[in-house]
Amino acid sequence: MNSASRLAPPRTLIMGVLNVTPDSFSDGGEYLDPQVAIARARELVRQGANIIDVGGESTRPGASPVSLEEEQRRILPVIEALSAEGITVSVDTLHAATARAAVRAGAHYVNDVSGGLHDDEMFQTVAGLSGEHDTRMIIGHWRGVPDPAHSRSEYRDVVVEVSDALAERAVRAVAAGIAPHRIVLDPGLGFDKTAAQGWQLLAHLERLAVLGYPVLIGASRKRMLAETLGAHDDTAARDLATAVVSSLVARSGAWGVRVHDVASTAAALAVTAAFEAGARTATSAGAGFEAQPTRDRITLTGLEVFAYHGVYDFEREQGQRFIIDAEVAVDLSAAAAGDELARTVNYAELVGTILEAVANDPVDLIETLAERVARVALGFAGVRQARVTVHKPDAPIDATFGDVSVTIERGVE
């Protein structure tokens, strides 16, 4: 266990960057060999990464496009190996065909920095994969391959315009069939935005949060950090600066951060979580309450679903009732303060998501079903822990009984 994991677990997910390319701006050529890439991914997970973002084509200025065949040749063996080990994988691609192949190889996320603008088939492809594979879509803000001369970096108000553009892309994604709870937004730092504009976006993340989608931030080692560091710029300094950004955006409610150096960001997020826990404890003690961190909760009980799960053939053929109880831990203070639905979990959407998860592919065990429900509940923005009970009141048991159920608790690690 590393030093970061001994502190309170981070509230923001860490996406570790794994570029299987010869020309990425920071680590091009280091992980072209599949075995080296797989070993690197394992190292990132040990350091605290929750997701590994695997890319086979660089989008840095001046990078050469690669064929679909070459992109997939680079990434698919890595994705298959990592998925087989239970590691959550994202594929960083502009191409619908590569997204399809990657998801079928085991990727859970499609990270498209163009937000579906580069390939018109991307949204439809992800929508088609979502039902079977529970695929999630990360939609980036994009005006094209980044222009270092900033010829496309003119904004009247970068915060408003980027937010509006991402909102429009999210609407298009939903219209194509991607469920809202499967969408994550990324403001696209460094993609036709100056350093000053990037800092404005980071300072006003609440403008993105009110759209109601999780927000991913990718500032790692980017030029905006180099310009800020000036004469002190080098890789170590950029990683330190990245960790500081990770801490700041975590406190602003970012769902995730995409970073090259996971260890420093994991430590920063652990310290941030400990700091916030201390602040909550002090506030509670000062108000006369017991001095301990508290977690707000939303609880759903007695959700009845008819589905076709079970070990026996007749269960798969005839179906039966399943009753779901779900409790999610989420900080509700912002929602209460502003009376805003976007700041909490929409429990109507939560119900719809659970219904869809339970009605999907038949499985043998209610343990498996509970795991599936917990996973989709944790996919909602702000949810840090989920307690799920699956009841099977009509189970084929040769005895008189009232109910049989399993309960699991899962959290963001």
Judgement on whether residues 341 and 217 belong to the same structural domain of the protein: no
Alpha helix ranges (H) inside 235-318: 235-251, 262-286, 313-318
Rounded-to-integer distance, Cα 138 and Cα 116, Å: 10
pLDDT digits (tens, 9 = 90+) for 348-397: 889 988 998 898 788 889 999 999 999 888 888 778 889 999 999 999 99
Tell me, yes or no, whether 103 and 239 share the same domain. Answer: yes
> What end-to-end distance do the CA atoms of the chain give, in Å?
13
Average pLDDT of the chain?
86
pLDDT of residue 370: 92
Residue 29 and residue 145 in one domain: yes
The residue among 242, 276, 310 that closes a domain is 276
What are the tens digits of pLDDT across the range 254-286? 999 999 999 999 999 999 888 877 766 655 555
Task: Tell whether 240 and 313 lie within a shared domain.
Answer: no
Give domain status of residue 128, yes or no. yes
Say if residue 351 is in the same domain as residue 399. Answer: yes
Is the pLDDT at 252 greater than 50, yes or no?
Answer: yes
Asked if the structure places residue 290 within a domain, the reply is no
Percent pLDDT > 90 in the chain is 57
Task: Say which CATH number the domain at 397 has.
Answer: 3.30.1130.10
Q: Are strands 13-19 and 256-259 parallel, antiparallel or unpaired?
A: parallel
Please report whether residue 287 resides in a domain. Answer: no
243 part of a folded domain: yes
The answer to the question of residue 38 being in a domain is: yes
Task: Evaluate whether residue 21 is within a structural domain.
Answer: yes
122 lies in the same domain as 184 = yes
Q: Could you say which of 40, 136, 222, 372 is catalytic? A: 222
CATH code at 67? 3.20.20.20
Looking at 169, 193, 258, 387, which residue is catalytic? 258
Q: What is the pTM assigned to this prediction?
A: 0.68
Examine the domain organization and report whether 57 and 196 are in the same domain.
yes
List helix spans (H) across 360-404: 366-378
pLDDT of residue 2: 40
Amino acid at 300: L
What is the band of 3 on the pLDDT scale with cuts at 50, 70, 90?
Answer: very low
- Counting DSSP H helices and E strands in the chain, the numbers are 14, 12
Summarised one tens digit per residue, pLDDT across range 143-174 is: 877 777 777 778 999 999 999 999 999 999 99
| Interatomic CA distance for residues 202 and 254, integer angstroms | 10
Quick one: CA torsion of 145, 151, 153, 156, rounded to 10 degrees?
A: -140
- Note whether 100 and 224 are same-domain residues: yes
The pLDDT score that the predictor gives to residue 171 is: 94
- Is residue 375 annotated as part of the catalytic site, yes or no? no
Q: Count the domains in the chain.
A: 2
Pairwise CA distance, residues 168 & 166, whole Å: 5
Contact in structure between 197 and 163 (CB atoms under 8 Å): no
407 touches 398 (CB < 8 A): no
pLDDT of residue 292: 43
338: CB partners within 8 A, 6+ apart: none
Question: pLDDT grade, residue 8 (50/70/90)?
Answer: very low
DSSP 135: -
Residue 289 belongs to a domain: no
Q: Of 6-10, 108-112, 207-211, where does mean pLDDT reach its minimum? A: 6-10
Q: In which domain, by residue range, is 305 found?
A: 297-411
Q: Please tell me whether residues 82 and 226 are part of one structural domain.
A: yes
Residues 86 and 146 in one domain: yes
Residue 345 C-alpha from the chain's centroid? 16
Cα separation, 18 vs 33, whole angstroms: 12
Mean pLDDT over residues 304-322, rounded? 92
Residue 1 has what pLDDT?
36
Question: Facing residues of 53 across strands?
Answer: 17, 90
| The pLDDT of residue 280 | 60
258 flagged as catalytic: yes
186 is a domain residue: yes
pLDDT in tens, 90-113: 999 999 999 999 999 999 999 999
Higher-confidence residue of 134 and 299: namely 299
| Residue scoring higher pLDDT (287 or 323) | 323
Write phi, then psi, for 130 (nearest 5 degrees).
-60, -45
Domain boundary (214, 243, 276) is at 276
Look at residue 309 and tell me whether its pLDDT is greater than 90. Answer: yes
Question: What is the Cα–Cα distance from 4 to 269, expressed in whole angstroms?
Answer: 8
Reply yes or no on whether the pLDDT at 233 is more than 90.
no
Same domain, 404 and 334: yes
Domain boundary among 214, 244, 276: 276
164/197 same-domain check: yes
